[in-house]
Structure 1
Amino acid sequence: MPNKISLENDYPDITKSEELYKRALGLIPSVTQTLAKGPTQYVNGASPKYLIKGKGSHVWDVDGNEYIDYNMGIGPLSLGYAYPKVDEAIKKQLESGITFSLMHPLEVEVAELIREIIPNAEAVRYSKTGADVTSAAIRLARAYTGRNKILCCGYHGWHDWYISVTARNKGIPSAVQDLTYTFNYNDIDSVKNSLDADTAAVILEPVVFHEPKDNFLHKLAELCKQNGTILIFDEMWTGFRMALGGAQEYFNITPDLATYSKAVANGMPISILTGRKEIMNLLDEDVFFYTTFGGEALSLAAVKATIETLKENNVPKYLNDMGKKLKDGYNEIASKLKMNYTKAIGYNWRSLITFDPAAADPLLQKSLVQQEMIKRGILWQGFHNMSFSHTQEDIDYTLKVYDEVLPILKNAVDNNNIKNLLRGEPVQPVFRKVDNFNVKPIKK
């Protein structure tokens, strides 16, 4: 029988997942459309590979095994799977149509909603993926300033201007690679040493897991202002989660441009660019940024319903409160076991489990915990991506699982036999954590 959410489970039967995986090999390069969803990020051979259903905070794989999900579609599901109000809005719009030959009223209605929420949203444009709007923001910054160079910090998608700073930069002309550099988060000197008269934009995720220190974000904003450089907040994760108005609202900083996706449509594909009108007005005639599906109505209907739900229920507070219980609970269990080599860090709405390499290979530690979490009915990738559908019951059960799994890790670390306990290939590194991610230009 398929596994349920239970401490008594055996390791899940993943026969159908493996069959689909074999069919994908050689047909779909890397077998996945999203790196974080692919087999390299799970214990390959012991973990499910294909999900077929989601409801609330729970998902079911193709073999029928049930899990509590703390990935939530790698971010988009701020409310949860199949959230009724959003699904009803999508279904209602579907009866009238999806994509039209002229503009749709939802384009205006949603833009007005966003303007009320996002501090810098003097103007609003839509697209489909995060990479679309971050690239549009970069083009706008270059057009507005007449400059070329970009400084970035975080992950900003697959387009040439950004991915050139990683090891996966084949196919990108050297002339493009020479225009983008990175700086270190919480290191204002790394920005000062990189800013020059040709720096068009500084783009960063306002937070990933670490908090800004020593007024870092405010100092960064002031530096950009002094240098005539456009400040861009990539709010794919912070938007509509950290606060309804994202990091802009939370930190009381108004960037020149900002980009959003993930949480705003509860799983439907849409991305949003907001910014100062004098910059955004370049999109009228000077800067080209158009796409056939930018005004697709199902996603806009989902945005409207999602934003209304986020507002009515103060969802950011809920994510923070429930995430705090989970993060603090994990740390209490690790402390009780004297496991000072693992800790939950970051903001409550999206915390990260860390593993100290001094104890053992962090990826092996993560792999063993993941394998044992999945056995007990929790789809786990080392994060707590909270949604409005995660219940107190989910939190209580998850902490019971940690209470069982962390002693397994402790025993394996003490006896130096983590690898022997793995039932498949361990988790592999994500490229942005291991490559030359802190390359700074030399001032001339």
Structure 2
Amino acid sequence: MKNTVKFNDNYPEITNSDLIYERALKVQKPITQTLAKGTGQFTKGIAPKYLQKGKGSHVWDVDGNEYIDFNAAIGPISLGYAYPKVDEAIKKQLEDGITFSLMHPLEVELSELIQAVIPNAEAVKISKTGADVCSAAVRVARAFTGRDKVFCCGYHGWHDWYIGITSRNSGVPEAIQNMTFTFEYNNIEAIIEALDEDVAAVILEPFIFEAPQNDFLQQLAEACRENGTLLIFDEMWTGFRIALGGAQEYFNVIPDLAVYSKACANGMPIALLTGRADVMELFNNEVFSYTTFGGEALSLAACIATIEEIRDKNVPQYLAEKGQLIQDGYNQIVEELGMQNLTKCVGYPCRSMVTFSAEAGNGLEIKALMQQEMIKRGILWAGFHNMCFSHSDDDINYTLSAYRDVLPIVKEAIENQNVKSYLKGEVLEAVFRKTSNYNIKPALAKV
């Protein structure tokens, strides 16, 4: 009998997942197309490795086990899996074709819609992935300013200009690595001190989980203006979730350029670059950034349908309200159990994260234990609450009941100082990104 969303007696049977995984090892390098979906982030031996289908807020793995999903396909599922309005738009367009030999009218329709809802969208560029538009934004910023350096904060994709500052920078020439610098979020003094006449752009996620303090975003925008540096908001996670117009609408800070993907098409592959007309004008003749599939019509149709639904149903408000319930509920359970020094749910309600303190011990071991117990109870858990419009009150209440059941196990394991002995699967792996090795000052000191 397959596990369902309940307090199951056994951990899920994952025979088919394992068989497919063994096949993958023989033909794929790497075996995952994005690290967040790979086996390093889901405890091997317990977690499913492959999902077969999704509906609403639930997913089913290849062995037929059912789960509530709070990962949202690592961001793109804003409305829900197999959401009728979006799927109908895709099917309708499919009858006419997918991609064509000339431009498609949906490109114009989508751009007009984006201009109506995104504050800085004097002009719109359409592409396929977040990394594409991040790189296009950096390239056009360098062209517009005639400068080379880029300051960044957050995760901005796999292209050379960014990935050179991470621990996975093999294959990136040192000269390129030396043109990008990282800075600490909310440390406006360090940024102002480091800005010089060769900084083309400052690109950052407007927030990840930490909130801006002391008008940080406003001060950053002003500092960039005074220095002739373009400000780029990477709104892959904030766009269409925190507000219809993204973080720039929510915080009333208008960047020169902004990039979007994930939530805007409910799972279909599309990415958007919006910005000042005078900067975007350079794409017409001076800056090259084109892709065959930029005008692929199924994604265009899905994007229009998704944004209209987000607008008409006020989805950001729903995500905030439901996300607040689960965030507050988790922290209340933690308080009742006397675990405030060990764990907390942080972030904005539309996308919150469960954290564990250094005092709790090995964070990867604790997260693996939490994950295995939540999976046993029918929740595909990776530490996040990426809310979608299909998450129901029943989903939230059930998830909180699971937390109430699992957290005492975690507390006991921590107090026994032997979390690893509670694990049925493997310990999770650390992600590659550097998040605290800020190189902005040391690099400038060499100049």
Q: Same fold (TM over 0.5)?
A: yes
CA distance in 1: counterparts of 2:312 and 2:115, whole angstroms:
17
Q: What residue ranges of structure 2 are gaps of 5+ in the alignment?
A: none
CA distance in 1: counterparts of 2:421 and 2:278, whole angstroms:
60
Cα 1:33–1:437, aligned 2, differ >3 Å: closer, same or farther?
Answer: farther
Q: Is the 8 A contact 2:238 2:247 kept in 1?
A: yes
Q: Is the 8 A contact 1:148 1:179 kept in 2?
A: yes
Quote the residue 1:425 is aligned against.
426
Quote the residue 2:391 is aligned against.
390
Q: Which runs of 4+ in 1 moved over 6 A?
A: none
CA distance in 1: counterparts of 2:15 and 2:277, whole angstroms:
54
1:425 CA displacement: 1.1
Q: Please tell me the residue identity of whatever aligns with 1:404.
A: D
CA distance in 2: counterparts of 1:5 and 1:218, whole angstroms:
44
Q: Please tell me the residue identity of whatever aligns with 1:405.
A: V
1:438 CA displacement: 4.5
3-state SS of 1:59 partner: strand
Is 1:204–2:200 an aligned residue pair?
A: no
Is 1:268–2:264 an aligned residue pair?
A: no
Quote the residue 1:346 is aligned against.
347
Larger CA deviation: 126-135 vs 352-361: 352-361
Q: Is the 8 A contact 2:166 2:434 kept in 1?
A: no
CA distance in 1: counterparts of 2:8 and 2:89, whole angstroms:
39
3-state SS of 1:244 partner: coil
Q: Is the 8 A contact 1:167 1:435 kept in 2?
A: no
Q: Please tell me the residue identity of whatever aligns with 1:408.
A: I
1:192 CA displacement: 1.7
3-state SS of 2:444 partner: coil
What aligned pairs does 1:109-258 form with structure 2 within 5 A after superposition?
109-258=109-258
TM-score computed with the length of structure 1 as normaliser: 0.99
Deviations 1:150-188 (A, max 9, x none): 000000000000000001111111111110000000001
CA distance in 2: counterparts of 1:47 and 1:438, whole angstroms:
37
How many aligned positions are there? 444
CA distance in 2: counterparts of 1:173 and 1:437, whole angstroms:
20
Larger CA deviation: 411-420 vs 141-150: 411-420
Is 1:370–2:371 an aligned residue pair?
A: yes
Q: Is the 8 A contact 1:318 1:388 kept in 2?
A: yes
1:421 CA displacement: 1.1
CA distance in 2: counterparts of 1:342 and 1:29, whole angstroms:
36
1:274 CA displacement: 0.3
Deviations 1:54-86 (A, max 9, x none): 000000000000000000100000001000000
Q: Is the 8 A contact 2:351 2:387 kept in 1?
A: yes
3-state SS of 2:293 partner: coil
Q: Is the 8 A contact 2:235 2:259 kept in 1?
A: yes
Q: Please tell me the residue identity of whatever aligns with 1:420.
A: S
1:22 CA displacement: 1.0
Seq. identity, %: 63
Larger CA deviation: 21-30 vs 333-342: 21-30
1:42 CA displacement: 1.0
Q: Please tell me the residue identity of whatever aligns with 2:444.
A: I
3-state SS of 2:113 partner: helix
CA distance in 2: counterparts of 1:64 and 1:30, whole angstroms:
25
CA distance in 1: counterparts of 2:40 and 2:190, whole angstroms:
32
Q: Is the 8 A contact 1:165 1:436 kept in 2?
A: no
Quote the residue 2:65 is aligned against.
65
1:437 CA displacement: 5.0
Is 1:305–2:305 an aligned residue pair?
A: yes
3-state SS of 2:211 partner: coil
Is 1:16–2:16 an aligned residue pair?
A: yes
Supply the RMSD in Å over aligned alpha carbons.
Answer: 1.0
Q: Is the 8 A contact 1:167 1:436 kept in 2?
A: no
CA distance in 2: counterparts of 1:164 and 1:45, whole angstroms:
33
1:434 CA displacement: 6.2
Q: Is the 8 A contact 1:125 1:274 kept in 2?
A: yes
What aligned pairs does 1:27-46 form with structure 2 within 5 A after superposition?
27-46=27-46
Quote the residue 2:3 is aligned against.
3
Q: Is the 8 A contact 2:167 2:434 kept in 1?
A: no
Q: Please tell me the residue identity of whatever aligns with 2:402.
A: V
CA distance in 2: counterparts of 1:44 and 1:439, whole angstroms:
37
Q: Is the 8 A contact 2:24 2:31 kept in 1?
A: yes
CA distance in 2: counterparts of 1:279 and 1:442, whole angstroms:
27
CA distance in 1: counterparts of 2:58 and 2:8, whole angstroms:
18
3-state SS of 2:194 partner: coil
3-state SS of 2:238 partner: coil
